[in-house]
Amino acid sequence: MVALVDCNNFYVSCERLFQPSLQGKPVIVLSNNDGCAIARSEEAKAIGINMGTPAFMVRDQLKQHNVKIFSSNYTLYDSISKRVMTLISEFVEQLEIYSIDEAFLDMSNMDKIGIISICEKMRKKVKEHIGIPVSIGVAKTKTLAKIANKYAKKKFPSYGIYAAITDEQVREMLAATDIEGIWGIGKQYSLLLNKNGFNNALQLLEIPEAWMRNNMTVQGQRLLNEIKGIPAKQWEFENEIKKNICTSRSFGDLLTDKDLIREALSNYAANCALKLRQQGSAARSMIVFLQTNPHRSDQKQYFRSINIRFDFAANDTPTILAYALKAFEIIYRQGFYYLKCGVIVQNLVGENDIQFNLFSEKNNLKSGKAIKAMDELNNKRGRDLVRFARQGFEKKYRLRADHLSQRYTTRISEVLKINI
DNA sequence: TCTGGGGTCCTAGGACCC
DNA sequence: TCTGGGGTCCTAGGACCC
């Protein structure tokens, strides 16, 4: 059996930890740049704020219902997430952290009574020790556990647990699950399935495997098996090494100044290099992209990306930065209002497996010591104190975050103060 | 005025090779 | 009358996830 533990409305729950008066009130957390609603309390869902709704489109509604708004505070959410994961890991031998607010738990070799009792204890402990409400779904496969989790939230919100163990329990929840509520079926596939007369998860069981394979690739075939209770998804207990690393942001305002855009891009490139070093990887190629705002139909549009191969795998900031700047010069065009740019490093290898090109004059090991010193210093100071000239200092392009809460758990100057 | 960011996996089709 | 066939590697793009 597999259990999926999922934190309820995670970002909202994190904010409520430090502002308990927001319990029972409508709360939303916005995406970067204060763009869209990406987390909503139950009260906010009830008044019709949908996932991903741009905040400016529902501004009247937010005001009318006195919805409390937060900008995303990932420093805070990451730190709370770590606490939750550490706590639940004590209950099982193995767990797979699937996202910031979800983990799959391996519950094989446990009987039904044992599973239920562990889930109840775990849920209680997370609530008491950390203050985050979680829901738990249990079933034979990851996909069924995901469905069970949703069913628990919908059908038993105060108990928060659903174990789909007997055939009847599985059928009951499948019958109550729409096609689009299934993990792995998005907009396109639900349209396709609806068109063919399939509307709920139980009906999926009637579809021939070959049809799934032909119309939804092997992923569809695997999904069907998972729904039938045959595991088709691998466990990933280890902390997987990422295969691509991306840093991109929208600018706070549309930009026309080339120097400013270059400065933003330099920071994103430096960030990619840092992330590479943190996971012990080096990249062999990089994509740099630049774009205008596609929602502004009144403005000329431009999107361009370029894929650059390196002479040898690299993860030092000067090399990554140099390639990014070279790419930027190729794709930049004057005369547009730019919204966003980004850097994706890919073709990653372990940094100890770097093969140097016989003919390249540069060798990035030379800068190794300096980079290491820079990382250590920045790490100690908790910010990017040591920087390259191209990165600038002003960050005039930085994103909007008008509703940011404090970093209560990671900055001594921002801890919660209580007057007594 | 205002629409996120960071990932994964799979497939079709082109380039190239013998 | 009538243009081989089979294999690999790579890339772009589409689907999905939180």
pLDDT tens column, A276-315 = 999 999 999 999 999 999 999 899 999 999 999 998 899 9
- d(CA A309, C1' B18) / Å: 28
Q: Considering only CA atoms, which residue is closest to the C1' of nucleotide B8?
A: A243
Tell me the C-alpha distance between A110 and A118, whole Å.
10
**Nearest DNA or RNA nucleotide to A6 (CA to C1'):** C18
**Nearest DNA or RNA nucleotide to A253 (CA to C1'):** B1
- d(CA A215, C1' B16) / Å: 30
Q: Regarding beta strands A27-30 and A68-71, do their DSSP bridges make them parallel or antiparallel, or are they unpaired?
A: parallel
**CA angle (A158 as vertex; A100, A65 as ends), nearest 5:** 75
List residue ranges whose Cβ is under 7 angstroms from nucleic strand C.
Answer: A 98-102, 146, 182-190, 307, 309
Secondary structure E strands in A241-280: 245-255
Phi and psi at residue A113, in whole multiples of 5°?
-60, -45
Q: Considering only CA atoms, which residue is closest to the C1' of nucleotide B10?
A: A217
Q: Any bridge partners for residue A314, and if so which?
A: A283
- d(CA A214, C1' C1) / Å: 39
Calculate the CA A368 to chain-centre distance.
31
- d(CA A370, C1' B4) / Å: 34
- d(CA A346, C1' B12) / Å: 22
Tell me the C-alpha distance between A60 and A42, whole Å.
19
**Nearest DNA or RNA nucleotide to A218 (CA to C1'):** B10
Give the pLDDT score at A174.
Answer: 98
Instruction: State the 10-residue block means of pLDDT for chain A, 420 residues long.
Output: 98 97 97 95 96 95 96 96 98 96 96 96 98 98 98 97 98 97 96 96 96 95 97 92 95 94 96 95 94 92 92 93 95 94 94 67 61 80 74 76 93 89
**Nearest DNA or RNA nucleotide to A189 (CA to C1'):** C15
Tell me the C-alpha distance between A284 and A311, whole Å.
8
**Nearest DNA or RNA nucleotide to A344 (CA to C1'):** B6
**Protein-contacted positions of strand C (CB under 7 Å):** 11-12, 14-18
Give the pLDDT score at A380.
Answer: 75
- d(CA A202, C1' B4) / Å: 34
- d(CA A183, C1' C15) / Å: 13
Q: Considering only CA atoms, which residue is closest to the C1' of nucleotide C14?
A: A188
**Protein-contacted positions of strand B (CB under 7 Å):** 1-11
CA dihedral (A128, A130, A133, A139) positive or negative: negative
Q: Regarding beta strands A134-139 and A161-163, do their DSSP bridges make them parallel or antiparallel, or are they unpaired?
A: parallel
Class of residue A420 by CB neighbours under 10 A (exposed 0-12, middle 13-18, buried 19+): exposed
- d(CA A86, C1' B3) / Å: 36
Tell me the C-alpha distance between A275 and A144, whole Å.
34
**Nearest DNA or RNA nucleotide to A150 (CA to C1'):** C18
Structure tokens at A90: 């004590």
Q: Considering only CA atoms, which residue is closest to the C1' of nucleotide C17?
A: A184
Q: Choose among A254, A294, A249: nearest CA to A272.
A: A249
Give the pLDDT score at A325.
Answer: 96
Tell me the C-alpha distance between A208 and A221, whole Å.
9
Tell me the C-alpha distance between A80 and A13, whole Å.
10
**Nearest DNA or RNA nucleotide to A183 (CA to C1'):** C17
Give the pLDDT score at A398.
Answer: 77
Calculate the CA A214 to chain-centre distance.
30
- d(CA A399, C1' B4) / Å: 11
- d(CA A217, C1' B13) / Å: 17
C-alpha distance from residue A343 to each of A24, A44, A263, A328 (Å): 41, 35, 13, 10
- d(CA A56, C1' B7) / Å: 27
Q: Regarding beta strands A95-99 and A134-139, do their DSSP bridges make them parallel or antiparallel, or are they unpaired?
A: unpaired
